[in-house]
A and B are shown apart, each in its own frame.
Chain A
């Protein structure tokens, strides 16, 4: 049988918890692999949402990555040391130069 080289493990945090996932995973895949079902609350009703379509369409996997809100987790490759947080409601309109 063909030998599959085990993927490198990357360390990251989700809401402060230390987790690991495989290099090559997206942020959303890494969260699902760690059993995270909900990574945001909707701005309108506050209901929990988690990764769904995994292809950039549904916007249900929005998270805060290294302080930047509303990132689509399924479109962002996981990197070592990423600080991922729940996107609670609307993104704060910060981070823009004035």
Chain B
């Protein structure tokens, strides 16, 4: 058997095949580009396989109003993305936007939330963000199953959720139907400029392309400097518990608890700074489970069927990084920790912008150049 050298040309190579890379590839292919996705093998950390599947707006953007606006815009465009995916693949990704709650288990928690929301909304351009602070009685009126320990909640009608595994599959399927060449087990070792484009090499061989989009999650930290970009991202560990499937009783997503379209309850939102450790550990799971049962006592009667951990892709300030290289035009970096929320933007706004040559001015705030400003300037 002879194998041809794995050398080929694409208009654009997307490095990374998770939810972010998949969304970029689909958006680029919808714009008519020949796209190749180089995905790493199962040695990669795969945040896309472990996420909590919220399309979440209410608490995002303190310190960066552009991020609040960007998240809101994606949430608003998510209906369109769900329609696109359904038309392309027949897959219903179970997107819904019934409004979301953040439940508080003490007056202190509620007061902190209240102050955070006020600071968030005091930022210019965010004054019209809809949200409500609810006391126990009003929260119970809307969520009859809450326990007595819930002192109140923050509610926003902008929040929703989706089935992220179906999203992942639909992105891949829709991309394949539009001719995207998906190549697994292709770790990129080097990227170099080549005749106005780029040459990417690895054990898989090499491939040349006019443009390159780095959507490799934690791998972007290593790859970005090869093309004059920077993505100083670090892992932030999250753990998730899933119960057996039950009849629907949670009709809205919470920050830490949601019921999937298929009936399982997901409990999540832990955050730990533990490097690349992905071991599931009981102390954190216990706290998560205990808080969840105080929020919804009937959860105590459900069996847990599995738990897992995954690593968020976290920049120094927690906001996404979108940049085009100044030294290597045509090389872009796309990195965030909310790839599900932002999927609509990535498919419908960011990918078309990259096809047309550059990022819109509205994304200036997301450049990694922001990390160069001295903290006490």
Contact = CB atoms under 8 A, between A and B. Distances in A.
Interface of A: 43-44, 59, 70, 90-98
Nearest to B262: A44
Contacts, number: 42
Nearest to B300: A96
Contacts of A91: 244-247, 302
A98 B150 CA distance: 13
Contact of A96 (B244, B247, B248, B298): B298
A59 B298 CA distance: 22
A70 B246 CA distance: 9
B301 A95 contact: yes
Contacts of A90: 245-248, 263
Interface in B227-247: 244-247
Given A93-B249, A98-B147, A70 B300 contact: no
A30 B86 CA distance: 43
Interface string B290-308: 0000000111111101000
Most B CB contacts (10 A, CB to CB) among A93, A96, A97 go to A93
Interface of B: 147, 244-249, 262-263, 297-303, 305
Contact of B299 (A59, A70, A96): A96
A97 B301 CA distance: 7
12 contacts: A43-B263, A70-B244, A70-B303, A90-B247, A90-B248, A91-B246, A92-B246, A92-B247, A94-B301, A96-B297, A96-B299, A98-B147
B297 A98 contact: yes
B305 A97 contact: no
A93 B297 contact: no
B301 A96 contact: yes
B260 to A, nearest CB: 10
Most B CB contacts (10 A, CB to CB) among A44, A59, A70 go to A70
Nearest to A91: B246
Nearest to A98: B297
A14 B189 CA distance: 60
A95 B247 CA distance: 13
B94 to A, nearest CB: 11
Contacts of A44: 262
A70 B262 CA distance: 14
A70 B362 CA distance: 50
B42 to A, nearest CB: 20
A12 to B, nearest CB: 22
A97 to B, nearest CB: 6
A93 B247 contact: yes
A96 B147 CA distance: 12
Contacts of B303: 70
Contacts of B262: 43-44
B63 to A, nearest CB: 39
Given A43-B245, A59-B305, A70-B303, 13 more contacts: A43-B263, A70-B246, A90-B245, A90-B247, A91-B247, A93-B247, A93-B298, A93-B301, A94-B298, A96-B300, A96-B301, A96-B302, A98-B147
Contacts of B297: 96-98
